[in-house]
Amino acid sequence: MPELAFGDPSERDDLGAFVARAVRLDPRAVVRLRGRDGGLIDAWVATPFDVLATRTARGAIDPSDVTVSGSELLAGLAVVRGDRFDPGRPRDLEWRSALPPTQHWQTVDVVPARTVSELADRGLAVARENVGPQGTPPASLLDQAVLTVEGDGLTVKIPLRCLFALSGMGFLTDDADDRIRVTATDAWLRLDARYGAVVRRRHALLPLLF
């Protein structure tokens, strides 16, 4: 069975806060846990905004790449207070999102978190006025670029859905000193905030033709 271990209780609590947000957005969410060098664990979730969210914690996971139920992981983090515990039954087949590369990211710009938070609030007000039949905003609104940044030879358009994911995961703050770092590859966009990051493909994948 999988085993999750933490040397510092604060790392465990931080991961618990991340998982709690994910489960609040989607009670059926699964969490992918991937260990990497340096005693770090990258936790990934797919948000309802078609944007990935991630947070890194210090610890160890065995096996080094496993997907578990968000609800089961949250229960384990809250109830079992030892250094090591079972994060839940593996659900690897339920993870359906490609993960971004770990290399070749370019820093494009650094944006005040307060600016991003204000844009997210405005977008939320517009979304409430344009709820579709399924109770969600139309994709055309979510895909609307609300911020464009340039740097290191790249021009990156940030869609509203990325700001909704930042807000929904509790990554945004109103602290005047906080910044959002925008990085990108040819195919991916990443926004790093104080409490975590959101990641999305910059361009839609082309459909396969048969």
Q: What is the pLDDT of residues 30-65, one digit of tens each?
A: 999 999 999 999 999 999 999 999 999 999 999 999
Q: What is the pLDDT of residue 130?
A: 77
Q: What is the pLDDT of residue 59?
A: 96
User: What are the distances in angstroms from CA 129 to CA 90, 119, 126, 135, 138?
Assistant: 40, 16, 5, 11, 11
What are the backbone angles phi and psi of residue 72, rounded to the nearest 5°? -65, -40
Residues 86/148, Cβ–Cβ less than 8 Å: no
Q: What is the pLDDT of residue 173?
A: 86
Number of other residues whose CB lies within 10 A of the CB of residue 68? 25
- d(Cα 156, Cα 29) in Å, to the nearest integer? 29
- d(Cα 185, Cα 202) in Å, to the nearest integer? 9
Assessment of whether the complete model's pTM goes beyond 0.85: yes
Rounded (10°) angle between helices 70-79 and 9-25: 140
Residues 115/161, Cβ–Cβ less than 8 Å: no
- d(Cα 193, Cα 43) in Å, to the nearest integer? 15
What are the backbone angles phi and psi of residue 59, rounded to the nearest 5°? 170, -165
Q: Which residues of 117-146 are buried (b: 16+ CB within 10 A; e: fewer)?
A: bebbeebeeebeeeeeeeeebeeebbeeeb
**Tens of each residue's pLDDT in the chain, 210 residues:** 899 999 898 999 999 999 999 999 999 999 999 999 999 999 999 999 999 999 999 999 999 999 999 999 999 998 877 789 999 999 999 999 999 999 999 999 999 999 999 999 999 999 888 776 666 788 889 999 999 999 999 999 999 999 999 999 999 988 889 999 999 999 999 999 999 999 999 986 555 454
Residues composing the chain: 210
Domains of the chain from N-terminus onward: 3-94 (3.10.150.10), 106-201 (no CATH)
